[in-house]
Amino acid sequence: MRILTLAPLVLVLVQISQAPTQQQQQRPQGSLEGTVTRLGTGQPVPNAQLRLTRRGGPAQIPVAAGVPQIALPPGQVLQGGARGLPPVVPVTTDDRGRFTFPSLDEGTYTLQALANGYVIQPYGQRFPNGPGTPITVTGGQATKDINISLTPTANVSGRLRDTNDAPLINVPVQLLRYSYDGAGNRTYQSVGVSQTNDRGEYRLYWVTPGRYYLLAGRPTTGENPLTALYLAELGALKANGNEVPAVTGYAFYPGVTEIANARTIDLQPGADLQTVDLVFSSKPKTYSIRGKVIDSRTGQPPPRANVIVATQTPGLSSIGIDELVGPGSNYTAATGTFEISGLMPGLYTVVATVMDAPVPGRAGPLTRSSGSLPVAVSSADVDGVSVAVLPAGSIPGRLRVEGQLPQGLTLERVRLRLVPVGAAPAQTIGIALAANSIVQVAADGTFRLNAVMPGDYRVEMIGVGTGFLKEVRFDGADALNVPIRFSGSTNNGLDVVFATSGGRIDGALTDARAQVLPSSRVILIPDRNRYRSDLFKTATTDQNGRFTLTAVPPGDYKLFAWESIEEFGWFDPDVLSRAETRGRAVHVTETSNETVDVRIIPAEGSR
């Protein structure tokens, strides 16, 4: 159907780029060997696959853990290129868990071990998602005793039933892990989605051990025909086009609708939990949100508006169906009213967007207005919600650079971005709108951010190697240490001072026995303004356990290193408060050159 291809289809475009290659010279080759064992028991792991990647060799495509990457922002491509070095053919362990790469070119390699039912593991990895320890192969020499122990994975399976005991069919079941993203926001990462079969059974296998929430079901964000169609198509694919009993409810284990009341499931290495069952109503009682949209410029309802609700319940909006919500479905222009029905109790954000009609003959971007409002639905319809939409506006600005830009970098290649702070509408509506807030700087340092949705933001620089934001003023007031509150208009815009200098911190990382720790991560955390994720800096120690941090904005910091911490886990206030006293304080000025040695914080409950 051509007509359907016009509906937003999700396509991930991949472009390959190819750099010129250098011819390899013939040099004597080396070899590499070792074993793979099971963590805990030390048993050999046969049939494990070893993947060796040469540094400067084919780029590893990062595998997005958890939430699927649904669409790339316009104009952005995923680069999966080769740098010209031939990839090394993987080898497999024998019955005694041994492996050998017999002939390798000289160079530095990273090694990764995979086996069915074990957590994928880079050799010498010190922290989750961290790099492995590089291995140097010397011509004519055998590198031996490369030993990797693999953590067994866990399985979770169970059955979903309706309150009348009927199986709940084709219901997505996912495990959610509580974590932080790179911007310091709390998120729940989905680590795999399975669907129940006709007997209500699901099975999530070979899961990385950890604490998880289990969530079954889909969001109930309104009854939109397109969404319904999309979900029907999903069901039909599984069921041969035949009708499957609809399930509109959802539940977290052990059968609650709010994650605050949910119980985590502790998946231990090697666990096989078989009866993680859930019972919930397939057709729960639902409620409506009704209200009005008001254009704040006119005080009147806009002629055309798109009203959606985004659920704030984690794990439910991650399947991208928000993207498929069409315009005008829930909004009546004549009265300016909207109604969104079919909502289970929970926290929602009502988002209204209005795209003004183009003025014939007038160039320039269309004006977009938006507004949003959090709404809690408990056990009744919510009436009288009034969403005021404010027009998106332009923010002019000036960038001044203190110091020398790095060689080859001109002001024109510097880009600036507004990052939403808190639950700005741009975040809930999606990538398309967020992309508005990136702008390029002109040769004279001026810039103009167009079509910026009203909301709270902070400024971030892109494309500058080193340096820090020294000063940000919005309409003359400090906007570096407090967010910019943009309501659609501005008098003086933004003044940004970027300093290319910044402090420098060197040091060594050691453990309790004063042994240096290579390939480990050191994290610099500001004492104040912890909402500014740009003040958090990380470095990975080298072979000798040494690290360097540069372009550190002046201020007071603490340096931390954890033996065991999740990626971005240092944004977690609980983690920080437990560790606060164990950080090494450091005061940084613009010209600082500090040397601070750091002692690693051992894993909790570690041996």
Site for another protein in 469-508 (CB under 8 A): none
Choosing from 75, 299, 384, 605, the residue that interacts with another protein (CB under 8 A) is 75
Quote the least distance from Cβ 156 to another protein, whole Å. Answer: 11
Pattern 137-176, another protein, x by CB under 8 A: ----------------x-x-------------x--x----
Q: Please list every residue from 434 through 473 that binds another protein, using CB under 8 A.
A: 435-436, 438-440, 450-451
The residue within the footprint of another protein, chosen from 65, 271, 388, 576 (CB under 8 A), is 65
For the four alpha carbons of 455, 458, 459 and 464, in that order, the dihedral sign comes to negative
21 binds another protein (CB under 8 A): yes
Q: Which of residues 320-339 bind another protein (CB under 8 A)?
A: 320, 326-329
Interaction mask 181-220, another protein, x per CB under 8 A: ---------x-xxxx-xxx---xxxxxx------------
Distance between CA 580 and CA 518 in Å, rounded?
23
* Among residues 27, 33, 37, 84, the one that binds another protein under rule CB under 8 A: 84
Read off the tokens for 28.
């004597």
Contact yes or no for 549/523 (Cβ under 8 A): no
20 lies in the site for another protein, by CB under 8 A = yes
Contact window for another protein (CB under 8 A) among 30-38, 112-120, 135-143, 177-185: 112-120
Closest CB to another protein among residues 238, 546: 238
Residues 6+ apart with CB under 8 A from 157: 201, 202, 203, 204, 205, 272, 273, 274, 275, 276
Residue span binding another protein (CB under 8 A) among the ranges 85-93, 293-301, 496-504, 577-585: 85-93
Residue 265 binds to another protein (criterion: CB under 8 A) = no
Stretch that binds another protein, among 82-90, 135-143, 401-409, 575-583 (CB under 8 A): 82-90
Provide the 8-state DSSP code for 511: -
Q: Of these, 27, 56, 70, 383, which contacts another protein (CB under 8 A)?
A: 70
Report how far residue 214's alpha carbon sits from residue 210's, in angstroms, rounded to the nearest whole number: 12
Count H helices and E strands in the chain, helices first: 5, 43
- 546 contacts 595 by C-beta, under 8 angstroms: no
Q: Site for another protein (CB under 8 A): which residue of 365, 396, 403, 476?
A: 365
Chain residues 375-414 in contact with another protein, contact rule CB under 8 A: 412
- In what side-by-side order are the strands of the sheet with 331-332? 306-311, 346-355, 368-377, 382-391, 287-295, 337-343, 331-332
* Angle at 200 (CA atoms; ends 197, 205), nearest 5 degrees: 70
The secondary structure element, H or E, covering residue 231 is helix 225-238
**Pair of tokens at residue 281:** 């109503």
The least CB distance from residue 394 to another protein, in Å, is 9
Q: Cα dist. 50→39, 43, 135, 149 in Å?
A: 17, 17, 13, 12
User: Minimum distance from CB of 594 to another protein (Å)?
Assistant: 38
User: Does 82 engage in binding with another protein (CB under 8 A)?
Assistant: yes
Residues listed for the chain = 607
